Amino acid sequence: MSKRIDVSDLNVYYGDFRAVEDVNITLDAKSVTAFIGPSGCGKSTFLRTLNRMHEVIPGARVEGKVLLDGDNLYGDGVDPVTVRSQIGMVFQRPNPFPTMSIRDNVLAGVKLNNRRISRSDADELVEGSLRGANLWNEVKDRLEKPGSGLSGGQQQRLCIARAIAVSPDVILMDEPCSALDPISTLAIEDLINELKDEYTVVIVTHNMQQAARVSDKTAFFNIAGTGKPGKLIEFAETATIFNNPREKSTEDYVSGRFG
Partner 1 sequence: MFSGAALGAGALIVAVLFAVALFLVVQALPTFSANPADITGGRGFFDYIFPIVVGTLIAATIALLIATPIGVAVALFTSHYAPRRLARGLGYVVDLLAAIPSVVYGAWGASYLASQLKVPYAWLAENFGWIPLFAGPASGTGKTILTAGIVLAVMVLPIIASLTREIFLQAPMLHQEAALALGATRWEMIRMAVLPFARGGIISAVMLGLGRALGETMAVALVLSSGPLIASLIRSGNQTIAAEIALDFPEAFGLRMHELIAAGLVLFLITLVVNMVARWIINRHKEFSGAN
| Cα–Cα distance for residue pair 82/80, rounded to 1 Å | 5
SS3 category, 24: strand
CB nearer to partner 1: give 23 or 53: 53
* Residue ranges in contact with partner 1 by CB under 8 A: 51, 53, 56, 58, 81-82, 84-86, 88-89, 91, 93, 95-101, 108-109, 112-113, 145-146, 148-149, 159, 162-163, 166
| Cα–Cα distance for residue pair 45/53, rounded to 1 Å | 9
Tell me if 14 contacts ligand ADP by CB under 6 A.
yes
The item of Mg ion, partner 1, ligand ADP, none sharing an interface with residue 19, based on CB under 5 to 8 Å by kind, is ligand ADP
CB nearer to partner 1: give 41 or 160: 160
Give Cα separations from 36 to 41, 80, 81, 173 (angstroms): 9, 26, 28, 12
Tell me if 152 contacts ligand ADP by CB under 6 A.
no
- Specify the pairing of strand 200-204 against strand 32-36: parallel
The item of partner 1, ligand ADP, Mg ion, none sharing an interface with residue 40, based on CB under 5 to 8 Å by kind, is ligand ADP
E-strand spans in 47-183? 60-68, 71-72, 87-90, 170-174
CB nearer to Mg ion: give 70 or 259: 259
Give Cα separations from 133 to 4, 65, 104, 121, 178 (angstroms): 22, 31, 15, 18, 18
The item of partner 1, Mg ion, ligand ADP, none sharing an interface with residue 3, based on CB under 5 to 8 Å by kind, is none
Torsion, CA 222, CA 224, CA 226, CA 227, rounded to 10:
-100
Binder among 20, 32, 41, 44 for Mg ion (CB under 5 A): 44
Tell me if 205 contacts Mg ion by CB under 5 A.
no
Q: Which residues bind Mg ion (CB under 5 A)?
A: 44
Q: Which residues bind ligand ADP (CB under 6 A)?
A: 14, 19, 37, 39-45, 57, 230
